Structure 1
Amino acid sequence: MTSVRPGAAVTAALVAAVATAGALTATPAHAVAGDTAPAGSYAFAAALAIGADETARTCTGSLVAPQWILTAASCFAADPETTSVQAGKPALKTIATVAGKTGEIVELVPRPGRDIVLARLARPTTGAAPVTVSATAATAGEQLKAVGYGRTRTEWVPSAAHAAAFTVDAVGTDDIGVTGVNGALCKGDTGGPLLRETNGVAQLVGVNSRSWQGGCFGEKETRTGAVASRSDDLATWVTTTVTAARPTDFNCDGERDIAVADPKAAVGADARAGVVRIVHGGGKGTTELNQDAAGVPGGAEPDDQFGDALAAFDHNLDGCTDLVVGVPGEDLGNAANAGMVQVLYGAPGGLTKGQTALTLEQGSGAGAIKASAGEAGDRMGHALAAGATVTGEPYLVIGVPGEDLGDVANAGNLFYLRGTTNASTHQDKPGAAGAAEKDDRFGTTVAGSPGHFAVGTPGEDVGTDSGSGGVQIYGHAINSSGGPTPLLGFDEDSDLISGAAEPGDQFGASLAMAEYRPSATSTGTESILAIGSPGEDMGTGSALIKDAGRVVTLRVDAAGKITQLADISQGTTGIAGEHEAGDAFGKKVVAVNTRPGAVSTDKSLLLSIGVPGEDIGSVKDAGAIRIVPLLGSPGASEVVVEEGKSGLPGAPGTSHAVGGYMTAAAGHLYVGMPLGPNARGALHALPWTNIVGGAADPVVSYQPGSGGLPAAGDTFGAVSQ
């Protein structure tokens, strides 16, 4: 075991309180030389194994949320005598054991100026209730309990947690000085909890940092003083961090990265082969990905449309975000536009610098994808959704809208991948609504959340109403057929949905889904789904307004019960504008939960509705975005985004179609402008803090020819992730 650090940065008052001379020592191996903790008690205490061989260290931590451990930053520092540690993936592989279950630490979020770090597990752990971080500071003379997995008086590497009482000597701005009553902090206890126990309930008031190690195995020192880092004043920081959505981070450095596709860009002489450009956060430059680039399988060809769809998730659970790229125009042999999907893995060096890319194409690989044959016009990868289930298992949904089922042309199909499951599902599968019909194009749109996913069939005929559209909702549970479980399929003539099916409504032409937590005890098993119907006509007879559009929102609860929440259009109270022909309200919808680990509110659960056909004054098809809460009345706090309004740069321009190209992340709404005013396109990142919080944070714009991006391309910003 290597020692962590001596008592640098300890205030004079605290040093005087815990010692008379010498230096305190902390060790990321820091067990409490006290009594073995009773079986089942302090189940939130985590044993951390950091590195291997000569770099091996051990520490203790506290589970403060199902996927987060609070411990000492010095455990992970390159120099264990300091508390300096970089955000992002740990430099050394770290395995945490909590309540007998192990998991890898894949991300660190340090608290500057204090020997404290939040460490994220690859997947949530079960079997142990997290400890509460107290908001009340320790006081001099108070007796607290320390828990750890380090050495004891008689054991070098104990197998069970130990606990000992400590008296508070002094409380400083950042630290707490304590002295052992019946034990000491030893090597392996660093990062362990300092607890206040009231009526049998423990609350965290500090994180063990360094000690004299008097009374520990093999030590001659007799002093039992120690210093812990205060956590009581960090309760808000802990809550904010553990409930926030994790950023897309392809190079695992803790900074938000953005992938921007230009699916019509040329690669060499190959027109519309498609490129994806990565802009790394923290000013770390840009990277271009295409099928001629190193680490990307295949080769660029005309009309491949590499990047026509994008999704992001941590497929291999290593803490680095992986990018899923749809290539729907890919030819497979003589099958034109059969399509394919590639998973490009993140790594500390960036995408394609680690694990070899995964290519998914019909007729190869495994499962249902291998059992299928790539055919002309299948367009596999036209739509993508990816994420993690409630239990933290990664999933990937791939739309294949041009798939023929038997002699039914363009019925559509979908591939669902999760763990060892590689299954196809469509409208002729058991439990699915409707039946596969010509030009249904099941899988044209997909959207997912931890609890559910949804599939759009905008070409669905409802009775004699051609192209009215439909939607199917699934749960992630695998059914007896070996695929995801259908919950409900419906159209606008169903009792669930207000209104009625009409020709050309295209119900399901856009979908967005977000995790919903209605209470503090819920676990993210509920979802809210938004469904765009851009071809919806408003009015009747001579007053008929064609293709005005509307959006319907639904709640899917943990039991799979589905209810309608709202019917939103430009005729809804509080929604700006009025019905006009060709507005296509809802042609694109994106939903975001900015704080998925917290109880959902009308400020954290937001829906952006694209109205790309909106005329602004005399400017035709300038486009606009309506941002509304997914909870409560949609018109209660609507924000309108147009060029020159709500932070979107420029002035309204003809056929700019604002709102036709969007994505949403925890921090920003990304508005793509591939049709102008910049000839090669642009992408603008609008902070949610401005939109719903009234702040004036800077809007960041990305466009070819600036910020390290080459002056090349055609429709930059058409897709982003």
Structure 2
Amino acid sequence: MSSLRRSRLAALGAVLAAGSLALSATPAVAITGGTQVADSDATYAYTAQITIGAHDRGCSAVLVDAEWLLTAASCFAEDPAAPLAVPAGAPTRTTTAVIGRSDLSGTQGAERRVVEIVPRTDRDVVLARLSRPVTNVTPAQLATTAPAAGTELTFAGYGRTKAEWAPLQLHTGTYGVDSTAATSAGVTGKDGSAACMGDAGGPVISGGKLVGLNSQSFQGGCLGIDEAQTSTAGVIARVDDLASWIDEKAGATRIVDFNGDAIEDIAIGDPMATVGGHTTAGLVHVIRGGGKGIAEITQDLDWVAGGAEAGDHFGNHLATVDYNEDGYTDLVVSASEENVGTAVDAGFVDILFGGKDGLGSGPASRHFEQGYGNGSIGGSAPETGDRMGASLTAGTSAEGRPWILIGTPGESAGSLAEAGVAFYVHDDTNISISQDTSNVPGAAEAGDAFGTSVTGDSNFIAIGAPGDAIGGDANAGNLAVLSHKLDADGRPTVITGMDQDDERIGGGAEAGDKFGQALALVAYRPSGAATATDSILAVGSPGESMAAETGGAQQAGAGNVMLIHIGADGTWDYMHALNQGSATDDRSGTIEAGDYEGSSLSAVNTAPRQVGSAATLKVAVGAPGEDLAGVTDAGAIHTFSLLDAAGANDLWIEAGDGDGIPGAPGESDKLGTSIHFTPRNLYAGMPYGPAATGALHVLPFPNAVSGGTSRPATTYQPGQGGLPANGTYFGYSVR
């Protein structure tokens, strides 16, 4: 506790969140003893002004990371007098931030939306995530020692002055430290300086380092305060001891959170479910985190495009991204067998936006259908068998721009049936990528099925064409890699193409390899780099023949996965292969015909800001054709490290082995068909059984990696835990 008595603190003018922020056009006059910051002075460029709601409340803040601000919790509290009662997650009201702009009428710095808040419970502090990184302002550096009594501190903010309600100019003042407590310090403004409403959350600096945030003040001399109140005393919230907390929160990967409550939600597709009597119409179940209920999304809802019809397969593929950058996760969902007019199985895709009450409570959904809307999708015609949305992925680029990639492998190129195409969606437009696109390797041919698989991370995207013939070998397969940087035509820039006849990739292209049938990309930070500039691409070749021993017979369809390192400049190198065990290695499993290892892939980086390691970079590999104990196609999942020897870091997962898949291996269960890896869980869908409805098993991350200590797993299944009893291929897709 500071030397200010508790009774005096209770009387503090209270918190410094301002009311109306209608900006004044009159030049600012700083509080007596304060100083305006000149436009040319970048000393306090990390200071931000935040506006909550329709100018309902305004505060100051400080950039401490390219994506994060520190500010006062009281800015977001419904009752600012109780500043610690702030829920985590998306702000309840639209919140914007201007960073690095000492004159708010100028254009320097950056403007962003605040999309997530992470509160402390022990002081008047929150971290506020920005919609996109700020790259033209240097974040403040935190002090490492508490402010000592008797020292001088500088504070900055955009709050009221002696003469103005809402000045346009950043101003600074000077504090003297009266006393220091565990999470705060008592201060008094010097030379008439005082923190006023609107200064809450602004930086308090000692020796050029951030030591605290403006929190409470008597506001003596501030416009609108009783003239009899002359005290400039106040309290700052200490932040000098928060570096590890900031690093932990800023470095965490985003969760799927459709309602913005900071609790992870799950979307589970059942594309063969019956809806309103229509078989195989398909639906999506949403499990709201924190026990907040279950929702069912079908095309019969008035906010979802189309209507439930037999054979639509709605929910066939899912992806998630905060596409409109409002802090709520949005669900991208395909109905790849949807009929469009007379075009059978043409397919389409929708973005279903999250909101404070979950999916459907945000903006109206956005619909993507060939011949509808703008861009390449609008300029294309739906045709029978296009299967738009047969593969799907989404994410954000390194600069923070959301994107979606839609595979349409059945698309014809002129008379070339099933040549395939992919659509790259960003902002308010979209553009096509095919093997007829300039610089994309290969040429469009019938049956290439370009777009069968799609993947992407913050650096690159990749598109697979497993049906491509290489050197006369049918279905050998290839792929294209592109960056998010748009070329002169507005397309992602082509980086390279790959097939197994490249001398850097072992094996050689062979008929039926289906190289590129499954893909997974993950960004990582290499040693010596400041950020995650590089990527690792995992390429599934499930048709690959492999020998279980040197000189032994080739096992057709054993399957293989190849790892490719892609550098920041787009150059690439083959790393090594991932496959089941042979007589000469220590890998789990046994190479056998028909395992189809690599049919599905999902890669994850648990610590994207740290230098990548064997412990942080993992991939899950599906082997749905695995026979176990005489049971045909029981299936299995094989996890590996992406940066170390395969056998030393792999884990074999099958039903009943204690990792979290219950029961025993069953015939045609095909475990490994549906997998999704996150830093928290491995989601293993079992749409084909043993439950007649299908099921989803959620394995905590330690269960799914070598050396982890198993924890209780969770199973979701129709008819249990509040889920409706109907289900056909429940768990076919999950996000």
Instruction: State the TM-score, normalizing by the size of structure 1.
Output: 0.93
Q: Classify the secondary structure of the residue corresponding to 2:4.
A: helix
What residue number does 2:4 align with?
15
What residue number does 1:74 align with?
74
What residue number does 1:658 align with?
671
Q: Classify the secondary structure of the residue corresponding to 2:74.
A: helix
- The equivalent position to 2:639 in structure 1, one of 619, 627, 631, is 627
Matches within 5 A, 1:206-355: 206-219=212-225, 220=227, 221-355=229-363
Matches within 5 A, 1:633-644: 633-644=645-656
Query: Quick check: 1:17–1:170 contact (8 Å CA) kept in 2?
Result: no
Instruction: Note the C-alpha offset of 1:203.
Output: 2.5
Matches within 5 A, 1:293-692: 293-518=301-526, 522-539=530-547, 543-571=553-581, 573-644=585-656, 645-692=658-705
Aligned CA distance change for structure 1 residues 266 and 19 (closer, same or farther; 3 Å): closer
> How far apart in 1 are the matches of 2:316 and 2:555?
31
Query: Quick check: 1:18–1:226 contact (8 Å CA) kept in 2?
Result: no
Is 2:717 the counterpart of 1:703? yes
Aligned CA distance change for structure 1 residues 206 and 640 (closer, same or farther; 3 Å): farther
> How far apart in 1 are the matches of 2:394 and 2:125?
32
Instruction: Note the C-alpha offset of 1:685.
Output: 1.6
> How far apart in 2 are the matches of 1:139 and 1:698?
48
Instruction: Note the C-alpha offset of 1:230.
Output: 2.3
Query: Which is further off, 670-679 or 152-161?
Result: 152-161
Instruction: Note the C-alpha offset of 1:709.
Output: 0.7
- The equivalent position to 1:148 in structure 2, one of 138, 145, 157, is 157
What residue number does 2:128 align with?
119
Instruction: Note the C-alpha offset of 1:46.
Output: 0.7
Q: Classify the secondary structure of the residue corresponding to 2:137.
A: coil
What residue number does 2:104 align with?
none
Aligned CA distance change for structure 1 residues 205 and 662 (closer, same or farther; 3 Å): same
Cα deviations across residues 509-567 of structure 1 (Å, max 9, x unaligned)? 10011122225753434322111111110139861211111111112222111222221
Query: Quick check: 1:18–1:178 contact (8 Å CA) kept in 2?
Result: no
Aligned CA distance change for structure 1 residues 662 and 150 (closer, same or farther; 3 Å): same
Give the partner amino acid of 1:710. Answer: P
Instruction: Note the C-alpha offset of 1:713.
Output: 1.0
> How far apart in 2 are the matches of 1:18 and 1:160?
34
What residue number does 2:211 align with?
205
Query: Quick check: 1:327–1:381 contact (8 Å CA) kept in 2?
Result: yes
> How far apart in 1 are the matches of 2:646 and 2:210?
40
> How far apart in 1 are the matches of 2:407 and 2:330?
19
Give the partner amino acid of 2:718. Answer: P
Query: Quick check: 2:688–2:694 contact (8 Å CA) kept in 1?
Result: yes
Query: Quick check: 2:12–2:216 contact (8 Å CA) kept in 1?
Result: no
Give the partner amino acid of 1:118. Answer: L
Give the partner amino acid of 1:594. Answer: T
Query: Quick check: 2:270–2:284 contact (8 Å CA) kept in 1?
Result: yes
Query: Quick check: 2:317–2:333 contact (8 Å CA) kept in 1?
Result: yes
Cα deviations across residues 641-689 of structure 1 (Å, max 9, x unaligned)? 2223323333322322222211122321111111222221111222224
> How far apart in 2 are the matches of 1:430 and 1:705?
51
Q: Classify the secondary structure of the residue corresponding to 1:436.
A: coil
Instruction: Note the C-alpha offset of 1:117.
Output: 1.0
What residue number does 2:16 align with?
27
Query: Quick check: 1:627–1:638 contact (8 Å CA) kept in 2?
Result: yes
Instruction: Note the C-alpha offset of 1:576.
Output: 0.9
Instruction: Note the C-alpha offset of 1:165.
Output: 2.9
What residue number does 1:5 align with?
none
Q: Classify the secondary structure of the residue corresponding to 1:233.
A: coil
Instruction: Note the C-alpha offset of 1:430.
Output: 1.0
Aligned CA distance change for structure 1 residues 699 and 362 (closer, same or farther; 3 Å): same
Is 2:36 the counterpart of 1:47? no
Give the partner amino acid of 1:506. Answer: K
Instruction: Note the C-alpha offset of 1:285.
Output: 0.6
Give the partner amino acid of 1:228. Answer: I
Number of residue pairs aligned between Structure 1 and Structure 2: 704
Aligned CA distance change for structure 1 residues 635 and 45 (closer, same or farther; 3 Å): farther
Instruction: State the TM-score, normalizing by the size of structure 2.
Output: 0.91
Query: Which is further off, 272-281 or 162-171?
Result: 162-171
> How far apart in 1 are the matches of 2:219 and 2:304?
53
Give the partner amino acid of 1:50. Answer: I
Query: Quick check: 1:610–1:625 contact (8 Å CA) kept in 2?
Result: yes
Could you list the runs of 5+ residues in structure 1 that have no partner in the other structure? 1-10
Instruction: Note the C-alpha offset of 1:630.
Output: 1.6
Instruction: Note the C-alpha offset of 1:696.
Output: 5.1
What residue number does 1:4 align with?
none
- The equivalent position to 1:108 in structure 2, one of 112, 117, 136, is 117
Identical counterparts, % of pairs: 44
Query: Which is further off, 669-678 or 396-405?
Result: 669-678
Aligned CA distance change for structure 1 residues 14 and 678 (closer, same or farther; 3 Å): farther
> How far apart in 1 are the matches of 2:6 and 2:362?
49
Q: Classify the secondary structure of the residue corresponding to 1:133.
A: coil
Aligned CA distance change for structure 1 residues 658 and 133 (closer, same or farther; 3 Å): farther
Q: Classify the secondary structure of the residue corresponding to 1:297.
A: coil
What residue number does 1:92 align with?
93
> How far apart in 2 are the matches of 1:87 and 1:701?
27
Instruction: Note the C-alpha offset of 1:88.
Output: 1.9
Query: Quick check: 1:19–1:223 contact (8 Å CA) kept in 2?
Result: no
Give the partner amino acid of 1:95. Answer: T
> How far apart in 2 are the matches of 1:673 and 1:25?
56
Give the partner amino acid of 1:224. Answer: T
Give the partner amino acid of 2:60. Answer: T
Instruction: Note the C-alpha offset of 1:19.
Output: 5.8
- The equivalent position to 1:175 in structure 2, one of 167, 184, 206, is 184
> How far apart in 1 are the matches of 2:210 and 2:613?
28
> How far apart in 1 are the matches of 2:12 and 2:516?
67
Could you list the runs of 5+ residues in structure 2 that have no partner in the other structure? 20-29, 102-109
Q: Classify the secondary structure of the residue corresponding to 2:697.
A: strand
Instruction: Note the C-alpha offset of 1:385.
Output: 1.3
Query: Quick check: 1:571–1:579 contact (8 Å CA) kept in 2?
Result: yes
> How far apart in 1 are the matches of 2:394 and 2:538?
17
Query: Quick check: 1:535–1:548 contact (8 Å CA) kept in 2?
Result: yes
Cα deviations across residues 560-582 of structure 1 (Å, max 9, x unaligned)? 11222221112484421221111
